[in-house]
Amino acid sequence: MGFPELAQRVASCLRDVPKFWDGKAAIAEMRAGGSRQWRQMEWTGFYFQFLCEKHLSSIMTMPGPQYGNVHFDGFLEIPWDFKAHAINTSSHEVIVNDSRAIADAIAQHGSVGLIMALGQVEYNDEMRSFQEWHSQLKGEMSAYENERIRRGAWSRLRKVTFELRQISFVRITDETLVKTGSFQQDFRNADGSPRNAKVLLDLEKLDEELVLFVEF
């Protein structure tokens, strides 16, 4: 089955996903549903992954194949990843997955599929009430937050709601990798070991890669 047919098959299973995502309700749903990611600050991406796991479990193996230490989110003839991205932002770049893992997956399967939820987001108020609510729900401060405080870094505003506008299906091949950037190149892990670069996809440069999109 070619990529357009695969994308159509997946899209038919995602037509009933909710259009409006409330952060508190989404986090509560993930927590009740057994997801280990409900504590994460960037809940929109993990909630979309949660929805994909719920709606695509009948046709897709999840999680997908592993390359090195990296798992893809799902597998249906090719490896797939699920991402959510805010459209009301100045950045049109999406951090995808480990560059080496994507290259190895393409070498084995010919391409990698990206299912991307695009939507309008609302951010936390200046009193950071959503952040406070989430922190109280978690009951303890994350290692990431402790490290941010130690460094004296500014706390980013959290996404409070997400209004789904479009789900896009992107085919990533070797030709795609040639024109993508990289993220966290030359970064290191906490133990000092080098961190693999991730593919940085510029949505404005997508052409033949954008095979299908479904509007909501």
Q: Could you state, in order of their start, the residue ranges of all structural domains in the chain? A: 3-9+17-148+156-215
Question: How far is residue 27's CA from residue 43's CA, in Å, rounded to a whole number?
Answer: 7
Least confident of 87-91, 195-199, 207-211: 195-199
**By the 8 A CB rule, do 82 and 145 touch?**
no
Calculate helix-pair angle for 43-56, 3-14, nearest 10 degrees: 100
Question: How far is residue 203's CA from residue 20's CA, in Å, rounded to a whole number?
Answer: 23
Question: Once rounded to an integer, what is the mean pLDDT over residues 81-85?
Answer: 97
Question: How far is residue 169's CA from residue 209's CA, in Å, rounded to a whole number?
Answer: 8
Question: Once rounded to an integer, what is the mean pLDDT over residues 39-64?
Answer: 96
Q: Report the phi/psi class of residue 66: left, alpha or beta, with left for phi > 0 and alpha for psi in -120 to 50.
A: beta
Three-state SS for 70?
Answer: strand
Question: How far is residue 61's CA from residue 57's CA, in Å, rounded to a whole number?
Answer: 7
Q: For the segment 14-37, what is each residue's pLDDT rounded down to a tens digit?
A: 999 999 999 999 999 999 999 999
* Residue 189, pLDDT score: 40
| 152 vs 78: which has the higher pLDDT | 78
What do you get for the CA distance between the two ends of the chain, in Å?
26
- What average pLDDT does the chain have? 86
Q: For the segment 110-165, what is each residue's pLDDT rounded down to a tens digit?
A: 999 999 999 999 987 666 788 888 888 887 655 555 554 455 544 567 889 999 99
